[in-house]
Amino acid sequence: MDINNLTIVNARKDLDDRKYSSVELAEAYLSNIEKNKDLNMYLEVFDDVKEQAKSADEIISKGLQKGLCGIPISIKDNILIKGRKASSASKILEGYTAVYDATVVEKIKKEGVVFLGRTNMDEFAMGSSTENSAFGIVKNPHDKTRVPGGSSGGSAASVASNSAIASFGSDTGGSIRQPASFCGVVGLKPTYGAVSRYGLMAMGSSLDQIGPITKTVDDAEFLFNIIKGHDKKDSTSLPDSFYKEENKKPKRIGVVRNMLKDGIDKDVLSNFESTLKNLEDRGYEIIDIELPYAKYALAVYYIIVPAEISTNLARFDGVRYGLHVEGENVEKEYSLSRSKGFGPEVRRRILLGTHILSAGYYDAYYTKALAARKFVTDDFNKAFESVDIVATPTSPTPAFKQGEYKDPISMYLSDVFTITANLTKMPAISVPSGFVERDGKNLPVGFQMTAPLLQEKSLFHAGRDIEDVS
């Protein structure tokens, strides 16, 4: 088998036609994981992978298989699998074992999926480079001196290096789409509430979404259709009745030219314009649009997110679970456990969020940020009266060098195109659109599209056209 070009759709057909077994497929990926060990993509490769695959083969032999039966995937370390370790790449949860399945995991388990292992990530999903993991950085498969993006860097790198056929990550401000762009794979952030967050370690509760990272748009759609749906265990989960069965192909692409003027790499911009031209040649209408409040999105995001982080991470106190450091009193134990357990970026965001929510600052910052978030959302809703999707580059640059961004603000700026989908709760996808050359290496870049709420089908339609022209 050629796992370099293998997709879920193709592997499903091959397994059903008995071209190879699930065990043989799993062994091929385990072998590739070992070859790519230096990328540091996996925090743990499960020791029962072959046993899982053997069980899948038994199901296939009886003709009872579902779509993911025997398909080997990886999963981000902040998504719970019962009986497996889950650390969110943090020392404070090192050794913690999940006591229940995330809803997404429950759904794909019923399909008979084979879990290869849990992937490395920025600690508690805070970062855009996977340099913030407590267990070492992840390297980009296209250039090992560069980052794979973040926070789902391990997941994206595992798919790009053919060390998993697909993966699941989480996206709070671009953490699926940006690493997908850097690694040359497809990343989908679904509509907020379309996929249950139950069993996902919370970072920003009003922004987090689980989504797939795959080699193709077809695979992303395949996985999305399995994991979407209402979940009574998640109060933010949307009722199934909200989904429309519209299947019309989008034809009008909105482009915000004023967002493309400053801070964007000229080669990335050239690739973006070339992709737009190719889509225009295929019958799409390219329309310039205005999003007046989008320029405030980054500031709004980095007020709301730290505030929610400060609240969500209060549960990690060194008492109930995870790392515990002895102290002379309870307050000292809290302080010591959190200081030793959390890394610098996590501590930075907790401190910032606590300040934002403190007396005298809540109204000045947090309340205004919530109001501005609505303005950004209204901008997009108005734009969608005249266009079907809004397009931007996924990231303003290709993958950057490890250690290149020492200033956290510079790192935050790499999220400028992705955060709006989380603020507006709209679905967005990153699709590979070509390469740019740096230091003799071809680095992937991505083309991002955002659609109205619950219009993932529009993204899949257009995404397949981008695959055809790229």
Judge contact between 165 and 8, C-beta under 8 A. yes
Residue whose C-alpha is closest to residue 455's, from 299, 183, 228: 228
DSSP code per residue over 211-227? EEEESSHHHHHHHHHHH
d(CA 232, CA 236): 9
Query: Which candidate in 175, 310, 414, 433 is catalytic?
Result: 175
Q: Strands of 166-171's sheet, edge to edge?
A: 42-45, 114-119, 72-76, 166-171, 209-214, 186-189, 428-438, 441-450, 389-393, 252-255, 285-288
Residue whose C-alpha is closest to residue 85's, from 53, 117, 51: 117
The tokens for 12 are 């499903």
Active site residue 76: yes
Residue whose C-alpha is closest to residue 419's, from 200, 175, 184, 236: 175
Judge contact between 304 and 373, C-beta under 8 A. yes
Amino acid at 326: E
Query: Which candidate in 151, 155, 310, 337 is catalytic?
Result: 151
Backbone angles phi, psi at 454, to 5 degrees: 65, 15
Backbone angles phi, psi at 188, to 5 degrees: -115, 125
DSSP code per residue over 341-395? HS-HHHHHHHHHHHHHTSTTTIIIIIIHHHHHHHHHHHHHHHHTTT-SEEEEESS
Query: Which candidate in 76, 215, 425, 457 is catalytic?
Result: 76
Looking at the annotation, which residues are catalytic? Answer: 76, 151, 175
